[in-house]
Amino acid sequence: MIDLSGKSAVVTGGSRGIGRAIVMRLAQQGADVAFSYRGNEAAAGETVAAVEALGRRAVANAGDVTKPEAADALVAAAIGAFGKVDILVNNAGITRDDLIMRMSIEAWREVLETNLFGAFYATKAVMRPMLKARAGRIINITSVAGQAGNAGQANYSAAKAGLIGLTKATAREVASRGITCNAVAPGFVLTELTSGLSEAIQAGIRTATPLGRFGSPEEVSAAVAFLASDEAAYITGQVLGVDGGLVMM
C-alpha cells in the first residue's frame, strides 16, 4: 500500500476538480497538504475541512500562480506549517480555447503563464529546500493535448507540451540529489470543465478512447500518489498516461 505518512505536500490549484482529488488522495495516504487556490474561498475551506476530517493537516493559500511571489508564499506557508516540503504537484491550469486565427494574444499568454510559467515558479520555489534535504518528488500534470495536440487548443497544447520538457529537464538536473520529477498526462476526465460538453462531443470522446469512457479525477490522483511514494523511487523523467489508451507512445 502507498504510504505517505510523515510527508508534506504542496499542490497548486487544489480546491476543485483534479486538484482537489489529488489533495484528498495524498491526505488519505497520510500526507499533510498545502494547496493554492485563486478565487473560490468556499471550495478551499471545504477542502481544508475534508483533509482535517482525515486527521491530516491542511493549509489553503490564496494566490495567482502566474506570480512568482505566490509560489514563494505557498512554499513558505507549507514549510511554516509542516517544517518541510517532500512533494510538489503542479496542477493549476486553465483553458482559453479558440482557433489560432481567432485566438487573442491575451488568451495565448494567460494559458502559458498559468499552466507553464506557474509550474516553473513553483518548481523553483521548492528547489532549495528539496536540494538541501536531498530528497523530493515533483509531479507535473500535463495532458494528452501536450502529447498529440488538439485543434482549438494551441495555447493549452503548447503549455502542456512545455510541461513535459520542463519535467525532463528538471529530472536531469536534480536526480543526483535524490529528487525525482515525473508527469501525469490525463485524457478526458469528468470535471467541471468537461461536464458542459454536448452529448455528441462526449460520445465522440468515448468512441476515440480505447477503454470507451471518461476517466475520473480519482484515477488521476492515484497515479500522482504512486509517483509521490517510495514505490516510484527509481522512476524519473517519465510521462505516465492516465487516458484510457487515447495516446499510445
Name the residues annotated as catalytic: 156
The C-alpha cell 496542477 sits at 91
Q: For residues 227 and 181, what is the distance between their CA atoms, to the nearest angstrom?
A: 9
The C-alpha cell 470543465 sits at 193
Q: Where are the alpha helices (DSSP H) in the chain?
A: 17-28, 41-53, 68-82, 105-112, 118-133, 144-148, 154-174, 192-195, 199-208, 217-228
Q: Which amino acid is at 197?
A: L
Grid cell of 60 as nine digits: 489553503
Grid cell of 77 as nine digits: 506557508
Q: For residues 221 and 206, what is the distance between their CA atoms, to the nearest angstrom?
A: 21
Contacts of 79 (CB under 8 A, 6+ apart): 85, 129
Q: Which amino acid is at 239?
A: V
DSSP state of 234: T
CB 29 within 8 A of CB 57: no
